[in-house]
């Protein structure tokens, strides 16, 4: 029996997204040297709904917990200054993480912190930006349009 055909016949590696070619836009600003970003979603809190008569714990999903969203990037004056300007404005802006196929994850948030990190001998200077998310629906996945 050919297990590869049995279990993987409908799998196509071309369907898997990679991070190569992703872009992060905050308002009108692209963070060009971004190298790590936070999760694009969150898990719901667990609500215990176990009755006294039960012998096992029973749970129900509660509200989704979304913490601050972070982006780490290689420090450069262009990205740093653009983010500092955004932080000074203190406005809630659109945040978009664009995948190579043109689809994206979107949210809204306000930049609350932007600072240099990663100071070490023979290392790259990095920076860390923190966004306070404000969308009441969480991250939204937007399919690429047919023209992209």
- Domain membership flag for residue 1: no
Q: Domain tally for the chain?
A: 1
pLDDT tens string for the chain (148 positions)? Answer: 555 555 666 777 777 777 788 999 999 999 999 999 998 887 778 899 999 999 999 998 888 777 799 999 999 999 999 999 999 999 999 999 999 989 999 999 999 999 999 788 999 999 999 999 988 788 999 998 865 5
pLDDT at residue 27, rounded to an integer: 92
CA 75 vs. chain centroid, Å, equals 19
CA distance 127 to 78: 12
CA 115 → CA 27, 50, 79, 110, distances in Å?
A: 19, 45, 11, 15
Residues 72 and 114 sit within 8 Å (Cβ to Cβ) = no
Which residues constitute the domain of residue 64?
Answer: 20-142
- In this prediction, residue 25 carries a pLDDT of 95
Q: Tell me the three state secondary structure of residue 140.
A: strand
Is 10 within the bounds of a domain?
no
Is 14 inside a domain boundary?
no
pTM comes to 0.78
Is residue 113, in this structure, part of any structural domain at all? Answer: yes
Q: What's the token pair of residue 137?
A: 């629906």
Q: Does residue 83 lie within any of the structural domains? A: yes
Query: What per-residue confidence (pLDDT) applies to 41?
Result: 83
Q: Is residue 86 part of a domain?
A: yes
- The answer to the question of residue 118 being in a domain is yes
Give me the CATH number covering residue 84.
2.40.30.200
């Amino acid at each position: 029996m050919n297990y590869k055909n049995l279990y993987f016949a409908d799998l196509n590696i071309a369907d898997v997204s990679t991070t190569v070619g992703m872009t992060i836009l905050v308002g009108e600003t692209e963070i060009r040297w971004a190298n790590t970003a936070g999760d694009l979603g969150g898990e719901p809190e667990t609500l215990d709904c176990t009755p006294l008569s039960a012998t096992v714990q029973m749970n129900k999903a509660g509200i989704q917990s979304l913490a601050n969203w972070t982006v780490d990037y290689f420090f450069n004056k262009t990205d740093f200054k653009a983010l500092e300007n955004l932080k000074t404005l203190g406005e809630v802006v659109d945040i978009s993480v664009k995948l190579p196929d043109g689809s994206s994850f979107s949210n809204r948030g306000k930049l609350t912190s932007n600072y240099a990190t990663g100071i070490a001998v023979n290392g790259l200077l990095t920076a860390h930006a923190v966004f306070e998310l404000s969308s009441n629906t969480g991250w939204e996945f937007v399919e690429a349009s047919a023209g992209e």
